[in-house]
Amino acid sequence: MIPYGRQDITQADIDAVVEVLKSDFLTQGPKVPLFEQTVSAKVGARYALAVNSATSALHIACLALELGEGDWLWTTPITFVASANCGLYCGAQVDFVDIDPRTYNLCPKALEAQLMAAEREDKLPKVLVVVHLCGQPCDMQAIHTLSQRYGFKIIEDASHAIGGKYQGEYIGNGRYSDVTVFSFHPVKIITTAEGGMALTNDGQLAEKMNLYRSHGVTRDQRLMTHESDGPWYYQQVELGYNYRMTELQAALGISQMERLDVFVARRHKLAKRYDEMLENMPVITPWQHPDSYSGLHLYVIRLKLENISKSHRQVFESLRELGIGVNLHYIPVHTQPYYQNMGFRQGDYPEAERYYSEAISLPMYQGLTDQQQAEVVRVLESVLK
């Protein structure tokens, strides 16, 4: 089976992890801060907090932005459930904004209409989580302008997008947002096995996220309520969690970061080949906004079902049966039973639901060879005939 995504691990990656195993520190040593510096320097953010997953990063970002009971978090329905769940973790309510039919990202026009309605009902969101689906950045400038007018904070869920650029600058520099989150799960662009990171240019947000990722405990005298009792002393000043990243993960991340641009360039080469090879097939290939240089975590096609004699499901199943490990990103979050129990209904977000009825993620990863890719295309062509 050719999978839809897969990590790329070299001997240098293995050596980096083994070196940590033989060292004095498996957690809370020098590698985590070095990984943070490596990523923040690369993307141009002032502060970076490494954590054990992007889900944890989303949670501490929401906490630092003081999202809580009585507040609203808005996001896109076409995302992994974690982009919405982080709001529920904080006791906030969640709502969705439909997608743009060309980019599949949260649609700024739909957002504006929904904000106008929410203002009348006094239900404006406190936090908006935008998701750079497949690695393509959202229309951040338009969304940022709306955030100034309506007073909400922006978290970029850039789980798909490290190494990508918006208007020529690396995603993660925070020009148009408060916090950016990366995921280092093995299917993503670089990996630390499990892992994530929250980046910001705001020192106070960074300080709060630092507390939330480690039990709300500090050894920093500035954050304590009174003079330290002695060298052993620490204080718990918030209710935090254990969301820390290990030294082994950080060492792997540092080693992977050296190949980030190579990884993204290879994904672009693969995408260009797919674009060309699929040109005459009854599918819609990904459209790229001129402002964006996608991280290309995913390559999603949409089936032109009116020109195909099989159903979406039949095409998907045939591909799997023939050894192509396709996937579907994503099932609209509002159609999940947990969200249906909160009152969301089928039909609430028509563009998202239409996308779901046509989308298929083709294999896309560093190690996918030209021959394997040609095999994917050959099988797809035979299935669509």
Ligand X SMILES: *Cc1c(COP(=O)(O)O)cnc(C)c1O
> Which amino acid is residue 20, in one-letter code?
V
Q: Is 114 in the site for ligand X (CB under 6 A)?
A: no
Q: Is 80 in the site for ligand X (CB under 6 A)?
A: yes
State the minimum distance, in angstroms, from the CB of residue 189 to ligand X: 11
Q: Which is nearer to ligand X, 132 or 380 (CB)?
A: 132
Phi, psi values for residue 273, rounded to 5°: -65, -45
Q: Is 79 in the site for ligand X (CB under 6 A)?
A: yes
- The stretch near ligand X (CB under 6 A) out of 11-19, 53-61, 136-144, 363-371 is 53-61
Structure tokens at 356: 């779901």
If you write DSSP's letter for every residue of 283-345 in order, what string do you get?
EEPPP--TTEE---S-EEEEE-GGG-SS-HHHHHHHHHHTTB--B-S---GGGSHHHHTTT--
> Which amino acid is residue 283, in one-letter code?
V
- The stretch near ligand X (CB under 6 A) out of 27-35, 50-58, 103-111, 360-368 is 50-58
Q: Which is nearer to ligand X, 157 or 247 (CB)?
A: 157
- The stretch near ligand X (CB under 6 A) out of 36-44, 96-104, 155-163, 267-275 is 155-163
Interface pick for ligand X out of 77, 196, 253, 363 (rule CB under 6 A): 196
Phi, psi values for residue 5, rounded to 5°: -155, 155
Q: Is 103 in the site for ligand X (CB under 6 A)?
A: no
**Rounded CA gap, 285 and 288, in Å?**
10
In DSSP terms, which residues pair with 318 in a beta bridge?
Answer: none
- The stretch near ligand X (CB under 6 A) out of 27-35, 74-82, 276-284, 368-376 is 74-82
Q: Which is nearer to ligand X, 82 or 281 (CB)?
A: 82
Question: Integer distance in angstroms from the first to the last C-alpha of the chain?
Answer: 21
Q: Is 54 in the site for ligand X (CB under 6 A)?
A: yes
**Rounded CA gap, 198 and 214, in Å?**
14
Interface pick for ligand X out of 7, 38, 75, 83 (rule CB under 6 A): 83
Q: Is 183 in the site for ligand X (CB under 6 A)?
A: yes
**Rounded CA gap, 150 and 144, in Å?**
10
Q: Is 135 in the site for ligand X (CB under 6 A)?
A: no
Q: Which is nearer to ligand X, 82 or 251 (CB)?
A: 82
Structure tokens at 245: 């990243």
Q: Is 82 in the site for ligand X (CB under 6 A)?
A: yes
The count of chain residues that interact with ligand X, using the rule CB under 6 A, is 14
Sorted by sequence, the CB contacts under 8 Å of residue 169 that are 6+ apart come out as: 44, 175
State the minimum distance, in angstroms, from the CB of residue 233 to ligand X: 33
Q: Which is nearer to ligand X, 131 or 138 (CB)?
A: 131
CA 52 to chain centre: 14
Interface pick for ligand X out of 38, 40, 53, 136 (rule CB under 6 A): 53
Strand duo 169-170 + 299-303: pairing: unpaired
Positions touching ligand X (CB under 6 A) are 53-55, 79-80, 82-83, 131, 157, 159-160, 183, 185, 196
